[in-house]
Amino acid sequence: MSGIDFSKYPKAQELMKECNIEDKAENIVWLRYGKSDAAILIAEMHQMCKAGLSDSIPLRNRSKNAANFYYRGVGSYLHVFAKEQARSELGLSNRDVSQIFKHQGIVGGVRHVQMDLESSTNI
């Protein structure tokens, strides 16, 4: 088995058992980033979360835009079992996540973000 203690990640462990791939866990690519890239992204996400709690409207807007990036960009680099584990730990369902990011959608199989171009300052 891989160096990961899956007892800490019960949802991922449950999904691996359900799919009968427990013995292949060491071959699963959980995150398609290197350790240093992942560390940088985590630090950026931490800073953007702090910005989202700020009294500064520009910082909160920047935080919202960053959340969109992390949802679309980083999320696409996570294994589906890791995403399910994170949702489970946060107590969120797929529907909850859809509500949080309801301004995003799928058109013709491609994810896009709906923007109010008149009020946007990032054009």
Q: What is the pLDDT of residues 34-53, one digit of tens each?
A: 889 988 988 988 888 888 89
In a domain, 105, yes or no: yes
Task: Answer whether residue 120 shows pLDDT above 80.
Answer: no
In a domain, 33, yes or no: yes
Kind plus residue range of the DSSP H or E element containing 104: strand 104-107
Q: Higher model confidence: residue 3 or residue 59?
A: 59
Instruction: Specify the pLDDT at position 97.
Output: 84
CB burial readout 15-44, b (16+ within 10 A) else e: bbeeeeeeeebeeeebeeeeeeeeeebeee
Rounded to an integer, the average pLDDT of 73-97 is 88
Q: Higher model confidence: residue 61 or residue 73?
A: 61
Task: Answer whether residue 70 shows pLDDT above 90.
Answer: no
Number of domains the chain contains = 1
End-to-end CA, the chain: 49
In a domain, 1, yes or no: no
DSSP tag of 73: I
In a domain, 76, yes or no: yes
**Cα–Cα distance between 90 and 61 in angstroms, integer?**
23
Rounded to an integer, the average pLDDT of 79-105 is 85
Instruction: Specify the pLDDT at position 71.
Output: 81
Q: How confident is the model at residue 122 (pLDDT cuts 50, 70, 90)?
A: very low
Q: In one letter, which amino acid is 103?
A: H
In a domain, 17, yes or no: yes
- Distances from the Cα of 19 to the Cαs of 8, 84, 96, 100, 108, in angstroms? 19, 14, 25, 29, 30
Instruction: Specify the pLDDT at position 104.
Output: 64
* 34: containing domain: 6-113
